[in-house]
Structure 1
Amino acid sequence: MPANRTYSSENGLRSLPPHFHGFALMHIAMRRDAARLRAAAPRWNGAGTPWWHHLRETIEWHHTSEDDVLWPALRHRDRDFDAQARELHDDHEELDAAMHAVTTAITHHGEGLVKAAAAFEDILRDHLRDEETIVFPVFDRLGERAYLAEERKVVASAPMHVMTRLQPWMFDGATRQDLHHVRATIPPPVRLLGATVLQRRYTRTLKGILT
């Protein structure tokens, strides 16, 4: 990778090496849903509460799997990553606090949700931007085979309630071209389940935030 090149998923996947498209799709999905929450906050009627709980659980798993699985592996493989990983852990704590504030507002029938949703989106976007600046060059240096070996460990760490939502959530709004390389890493039976039963379940939950 050229020394002055910065990878980012903020404008999609085109600038990114294919082997970490799956990781990038999760970041794209988080930004998408933070924007959905912010749009829904002024008219909140409670219908989106299950959707929010699912999103929070997924984000919590995502950054816990980074702290517990992916970052230790990157430390082992890339000695420059160690100090940077500590910075990212601190960001995760700030993000947890922002999600807690959203949950509290939802528990109080939406009181304070406009402010909490806006803060959550801003903190999330800043965190993802910082994280990608740090870790995407590391993913690139690892190369496809080594990186995907670590990614499989991350996915395997997902609890079942997250695993069953992961594919339709990641794929929501993505183009066929975006999904080309990611689909190739998913066993065909799992792809089929994600595109049928799990997709229908995801779509039902999504209605709560889009109404």
Structure 2
Amino acid sequence: MRTTDRQEAPVPTPKSFSSEHGLDSLPPHFHGFALMHIAMRRDAARLRAAAPAWKGSGAEWWQRFREVVEWHHISEDDVLWPGLRRRDADFDAQARELHEDHEELDAAMAAVSTAIDRRGEDLVRAAATFEGVLRDHLRDEERIVFPVFDRLGERAYLAEERKLISSAPMRVMTYLQPWMFDGAGSRSVAYVSETIPPPVRLIGATLLKRRYERTLKGILK
């Protein structure tokens, strides 16, 4: 019997998307969502660095950061995940897993707030735990939801993202743009800025940016 050298075609592997090491692996329409994750990791690291010599001046900064994180995952559970379920049947069971992660993240943030209320007592441990829980959660979330964003395509995904952003309370909305863009690359800022109405974009780049920077001074001292 004669053998042939024919080989079976390789099975395609799923795309791997992550913001953990930057935005190069991500399509541009992921960048707004990804910049929020990058900002969360950045600020968790800032908190960990400040914790050993905590003087209390960063309490307002922490409160604003916590409000953004809480809004982000509440709006995911209440707005974004239901929208993704309607568009992608495979997402349902995975969304329940992410909700459980959000509960763990809430507990870690509550521990940080308690430590700050006690003038930094046990803040080193609480900050380290929070950073670890946050990083693990964001890694799991991106593994699950970024392929869904990719399957939806740019127009359908951005329609869902607009609903997410519009759910933000005023205190979060007035903090979100300068917080997201802090340290972000110009390409990503330019792309995401195009999704923001021009008057809001202008206020975010001027008045709201100055307010954000004043709050930030408390943690960077």
> What TM-score comes out, normalization by structure 1 length?
0.98
Say whether residues 1:134 and 2:144 are aligned partners.
yes
Structure 1 counterpart of 2:201: 191
Say whether residues 1:102 and 2:112 are aligned partners.
yes
| Cα separation, 2, equivalents of 1:16 and 1:156 | 23
Alignment of 1:86-101 (within 5 A): 86-101=96-111
Kept in 1, the 8 Å contact 2:28–2:188? The answer is no
3-state SS in 2 of match to 1:26: helix
| Cα separation, 2, equivalents of 1:58 and 1:4 | 31
| Cα separation, 2, equivalents of 1:21 and 1:111 | 37
1:180 to partner: Cα distance: 2.1
Q: 2:77 aligns with which of 67, 78, 81?
A: 67
1:181 to partner: Cα distance: 1.2
1:20 to partner: Cα distance: 1.4
Q: Which amino acid aligns with 2:194?
A: A
1:178 to partner: Cα distance: 2.2
Q: 2:129 aligns with which of 111, 119, 125?
A: 119
3-state SS in 2 of match to 1:27: helix
Larger radius of gyration: 2
3-state SS in 2 of match to 1:4: coil
> What TM-score comes out, normalization by structure 2 length?
0.94
| Cα separation, 1, equivalents of 2:125 and 2:53 | 13
Please give the root-mean-square deviation of Cα atoms over the aligned residues, in Å: 0.7
Q: Deviations along 1:157-180, whole A, 9 cap, x unmatched?
A: 000000000000000001212212
3-state SS in 1 of match to 2:22: coil
Structure 2 counterpart of 1:200: 210
1:184 to partner: Cα distance: 1.0
| Cα separation, 1, equivalents of 2:127 and 2:103 | 17
Say whether residues 1:173 and 2:183 are aligned partners.
yes
| Cα separation, 1, equivalents of 2:97 and 2:71 | 18
Task: Name the count of aligned residue pairs.
Answer: 210
Gaps of 5+ in 1: none
Gaps of 5+ in 2: 1-11
3-state SS in 2 of match to 1:111: coil
Kept in 1, the 8 Å contact 2:31–2:192? The answer is yes
Structure 1 counterpart of 2:8: none
